[in-house]
Structure 1
Amino acid sequence: MADKNMTSLTIRRPDDWHLHLRDGDMLAAVAPETARHFGRAIIMPNLVPPVVRMEDAVAYRDRIMAVVPETANFQPLMTLYLTEETDPSDVIAAHKAGIATAAKLYPAGATTNSASGVKNMSAVRPVLEAMAEAGMPLCVHGEVTNSEIDIFDREAVFIDKVLKPLRKRIPDLRVIMEHVTTQDAVDYVRDTPKNLGATITTHHLIINRNHILAGGIRPHYYCLPVAKRERHRIALVQAAISGDKRFFLGTDSAPHIDPAKLQECGCAGVFSASNTMSCLAEVFDVAGALPKLEAFSSLNGPAFYRLPPNDSTITLTKGEPVDYPTHIQTGEGPVTVFDPGFPLHWRVDA
């Protein structure tokens, strides 16, 4: 239950441990939205072509910093896209040089720009073994892509068929299950004592599959992994507000221009960078857990990545509803900002 007497909250500046910035004109428009409130972000490497090598990560990082406002205290944390041809020595060299914070495993065909991902897990075992030895984290898109598996079951099947065997073979590998969406994933993380964490998105704390499908298709809520039943959303909220250090914020904010969303085969992705902290404050407030927001958004992620929390702070203030724009304009076209479906009373004073 919300604490009506709590109208202000100051926390360490949050980090986003799963973010899509795209490139070019889109990058120029969306990067400042994240830099406004966040100190750091794990940057997804699924560009076209993907960020595979150390030199790719350096170039992409430079393009990001070129469009981040000079007044922003923002650090992009780069990741490398694993393919079946990835050179383990390049990955480890990038990590030791401080260029690649983590590597990203996409099952081939799992989501946007994942065609270059992994089909045969044994092909990347040498890379994963080298990462385990070096202490380099692995970010995982945890879904199988077999067309015979129901889309709502793909996360649970991935845990049983891929992740459990992988972690049994390489127990020292530090794994982040990204954008978990099910009670199954929450339970698996809770039952695992070490080397496993999970990010939870803003939108998966708020929407279930009814928001996408009931009363008509709402493409701006369509994302991958797709939102699940209400019981799964509740499990995610309970994990987020628990204070458990294994759960932390990764928005998976993923911009697509409206024409790409509103077509016969629309793109998957929710853009939430602009209003995430207001959305989260509302969720935690309603759950009577505002004091736990700092752990979820600002402390647990750095602890898992073995980084210090940010020195600076932000203050959230409760008052009249905040009027966020419905869209941001980019050089490629308009991008719709995530609509939580309820008023946002918490304003961010960064």
Structure 2
Amino acid sequence: MTVQLTIPRPDDWHLHLRDGAMLRAVLPETARDFARAIIMPNLVPPVVTGDQASAYRDRILAALPDGTTFEPLMTLYLTEDTDPADVAAAHASGLVKAVKLYPAGATTNSASGVSDFNKVRPVLEKMAEIGLPLCTHGEVTDSDIDIFDREAVFIDQVLDPIRKATPGLRVVMEHITTKDAAAYVTSQDSDLGATITTHHLIINRNHMLVGGIRPHYYCLPVAKREEHRLALRAAATSGDKRFFLGTDSAPHTDPNKLNTCGCAGCFTAPNTMPLLAHVFDENDALEKLAGFASENGPAFYRLPVNTDTMTLAKQDTAVSFPDKIDTPDGPVTVFDPGFDVFWKVT
């Protein structure tokens, strides 16, 4: 017997689309299911100014398939030279919905990020004044800090001091991966929110490392122990409005994933919503999926919930997803959850 669930059309509050041929190949995978997405600015060169964000938005809209309704929500890449006045003007125009903080060297295309947080204090103070959210890649990059501990250390050494020094700053902890991060969010006020990815609800570090290295499960922040995955599931399915979906869907071609220094990222855009339905169903929390995927994110970003809807159906036979998406640059492998999924978008 088929079971159906209808929710407001979801949004993705953390998405990588890249540019050029890759953008044109992967954008339809997001636009098919999602009404809006927060677009990451870590291109080469990064999207630093309002003019650059406007030009990138134009390229995204030009790449949309005919008849597709999708709104890219643009962000600026925070550097130590970012101009607070340019940030404020880009926000006032309605173009820019957030500013992204990458600690320098933390992840893909983050070399232009921040090393000295004192140098960005004027930007953060302006953002607090105008209500513009700061999206954080929450990891320190010190070589003496173990990669599995870098999120927890970031909270203690960077995030909490920034928030205490900048009252009123609205912050999104993106792609949280630990029970420490989930607990920090629930201990704070409504100026703090957090996104959780699809893949971090499904895999732990054993999936990536046991029985052979699986490069398509390698992402940053890296997947952690099982206790952390379960804490993320509990947070996502709790109904707490401070947690919402940000896929961090990050396309890389297979040659760039399958080499001696493979890129970090999981490409989940094509199958996120069926996978989330599976997770929420497994946790007996289907009634909470609309909040996580469709309602909590708009509430934090002070945007309306989408008026159109999506229907997901659970069927008796397993659903097939494409193994790869072909692009002119090479194939991009779609995230494989490692189990049968019986949910699909109808």
Is TM (by shorter chain) over 0.5? Answer: yes
> Aligned partner of 1:82: which letter?
L
> Aligned partner of 2:130: which letter?
A
Partner of 2:330: 333
Alignment size in residue pairs: 345
**Which residues of 2 match residues 28-177 of structure 1 at below 5 A?**
28-177=24-173
Which of 268, 285, 290 lines up with 2:286 in the alignment?
290
Deviation at 1:321, TM superposition (A): 1.4
Does the alignment pair 1:308 with 2:308? no
Deviation at 1:72, TM superposition (A): 1.5
Deviation at 1:6, TM superposition (A): 7.4
1:58 is paired with a residue whose SS is helix
Partner of 2:343: 346
1:248 is paired with a residue whose SS is strand
Point out 4+ residue stretches in structure 1 off by more than 6 angstroms: none
Partner of 2:257: 261
Partner of 2:246: 250
> Aligned partner of 1:314: which letter?
M
For structure 1, the 5+ residue unaligned runs are none
Deviations 1:218-264 (A, max 9, x none): 00000000000000000000000000000000000000000000000
Does the alignment pair 1:238 with 2:270? no
Return the alpha-carbon distance in structure 1 between the equivalents of residues 27 and 88 of structure 2. 27
Does the alignment pair 1:20 with 2:24? no
Return the alpha-carbon distance in structure 2 between the equivalents of residues 18 and 70 of structure 1. 24
Return the alpha-carbon distance in structure 2 between the equivalents of residues 342 and 291 of structure 1. 23
Does the alignment pair 1:274 with 2:270? yes
2:290 is paired with a residue whose SS is helix
> Aligned partner of 2:165: which letter?
R
Return the alpha-carbon distance in structure 2 between the equivalents of residues 52 and 244 of structure 1. 33
1:165 is paired with a residue whose SS is helix
Deviation at 1:70, TM superposition (A): 2.5
**Contact 2:177/2:232 (8 A) holds in 1:** yes
Return the alpha-carbon distance in structure 2 between the equivalents of residues 162 and 43 of structure 1. 24
Which of 318, 321, 325 lines up with 1:324 in the alignment?
321
Deviation at 1:111, TM superposition (A): 0.2
1:27 is paired with a residue whose SS is helix
Instruction: Say if 1:135 and 1:6 are closer, same or farther in 2 by CA, change over 3 A.
Output: farther
Deviation at 1:194, TM superposition (A): 2.4
Deviations 1:199-220 (A, max 9, x none): 0000000000001100110000
1:256 is paired with a residue whose SS is coil
TM-score (norm 2): 0.99
Return the alpha-carbon distance in structure 2 between the equivalents of residues 13 and 159 of structure 1. 32
Return the alpha-carbon distance in structure 2 between the equivalents of residues 64 and 117 of structure 1. 23
Return the alpha-carbon distance in structure 1 between the equivalents of residues 19 and 151 of structure 2. 28
Return the alpha-carbon distance in structure 2 between the equivalents of residues 38 and 230 of structure 1. 29
> Aligned partner of 2:181: which letter?
A
Instruction: Say if 1:6 and 1:157 are closer, same or farther in 2 by CA, change over 3 A.
Output: farther
Return the alpha-carbon distance in structure 1 between the equivalents of residues 7 and 335 of structure 2. 23
Return the alpha-carbon distance in structure 1 between the equivalents of residues 252 and 295 of structure 2. 30
Coordinate RMSD, CA, aligned: 0.7
Which of 296, 299, 317 lines up with 2:295 in the alignment?
299
Partner of 1:226: 222
